[in-house]
Homo-oligomer: A and B are copies of this chain.
Amino acid sequence: MNIRLAKKEDAYSILELIRELATFEKEPDAVIINEDYLVENGFSENPSFTCYIAELENEIVGMALFYYRFSTWKGKTIHLEDLIVKQNKRSLGVGKALYKKVLEFAQKQKVKRVEWVVLDWNENAITFYENSGAIVLDDWRTVQMTEKALNKYLK
């Protein structure tokens, strides 16, 4: 297995992984970004994210996408937005290798915290995270306001 930083040329494969996961989660239409958007925002000056990809026999089978956030208590932190492994390439250690790679990046950057979210019913993932030393916060809830809702509110 080879893990490396993603390049512009990987945008199509990255988008395929994103779409595969969205389809699996029964929300295929939720992905509104396209390849150009991904290239423009991830592989230009001041990129919005960093992405590692995992290759098996020259096939891209997984990705981990993350970026910086800013905690008013801890300063710069890293947010792991997506860790995706192709359905038919699970249980080969790809996910764990990507996970470690992101944590190593965080370690090098000396950030005080790495953060991500998990679905509360995803027990396998939660057990894995907790065994690695992460903590699941039970009392915080994510709040989202869509563009449509905020346009309505500000009208």
A contact residues vs B (CB 8 Å cutoff): 18, 22, 27, 30-33, 37, 41-42, 46, 48-49, 65, 67-76, 79, 81-82, 100, 103-104, 106-107, 110-121, 126, 129, 132-147, 149-154
**A93 CB to nearest chain B CB (Å):** 16
The binding surface of chain A is classed by DSSP as mixed
Contact at B136–A143, with CB atoms within 8 Å? yes
Report A97 CB to chain B, min CB distance, Å. 13
Closest B residue to A125 by beta carbon equals B143
Chain B residues contacting A41 (CB-CB under 8 Å) are 70, 75-76
CB distance from A44 to the nearest CB of B (A): 13
